[in-house]
Amino acid sequence: MTVDTGTRQGRMQTGNDAEIKCIAFLLWNGISVYKIGQENWLPDWIHAKIRYNYDRDVELLKHIPDLDTGRALIQVKDAPRESGYSHVTLEKASYQASLRWCELGIPVLMAWRFQDGKTYQCQWVDKISPIEPETDREELNGSKTPMYKIAKNELEPLQSFLGFLRNGQ
């Protein structure tokens, strides 16, 4: 059964599956992890009220990373159709909010789950070189969400980050 990622519920379902598998991988490798993403604690009625508010501080709430390891936050993204492309996508607002967490001294690891459903490719958000959207928000179809392209060759397997997530090194 295919999930409709055009709905908030569908995106939450695929995102939750990606998070669960990422959590399992981290726990298997001895790393404590907690779910902290806004879909876990922000009620739908509040989400509806702030959905179209683009204030920098509100964006921190809307795009709080999904997981906390005690050493870094992890933003899990699902990239179910990345095969055959040289890049993955990332919401511009999510990237900017994650950079803001970094400015506050909190490292953020971006983790994309690839099409096989098992592979996670990652990079620290402050080491990513995003390619700017070519279209203004007003000209976009659908949700009007500007997206960055992130080159896959900038990403590394999640295993590469286990040392830092485990003991800060």
- Average pLDDT of 70-82? 88
pTM of the model: 0.85
Going by pLDDT thresholds of 50, 70 and 90, the confidence category of residue 114 is confident
With H, G, I as helix, E, B as strand and everything else as coil, classify residue 132.
Answer: coil
| Percentage of residues of the chain with pLDDT beyond 90 | 44
Q: Which residues have a Cβ under 8 Å from the Cβ of 86 and sit 6 or more positions away?
A: 151, 152, 153
pLDDT of 132-157, one tens digit each?
866 665 665 556 678 899 999 999 99
The domain spans of the chain are 8-163
CATH architecture observed for domain 8-163: 3-Layer(aba) Sandwich (3.40)
pLDDT at 80: 73
Q: Which residues have a Cβ under 8 Å from the Cβ of 53 and sit 6 or more positions away?
A: none
The answer, yes or no, to whether residue 112 has pLDDT greater than 90, is yes
Tokens coding 20: 């669960």
Nearest-angstrom CA–CA distance, 128 and 162: 19
pLDDT at 143: 60
The answer, yes or no, to whether residue 77 has pLDDT greater than 60, is yes
pLDDT at 142: 56
Longest dimension (CA), the chain: 46
Tokens coding 72: 């870094």
List the beta bridge partners of residue 156: 122
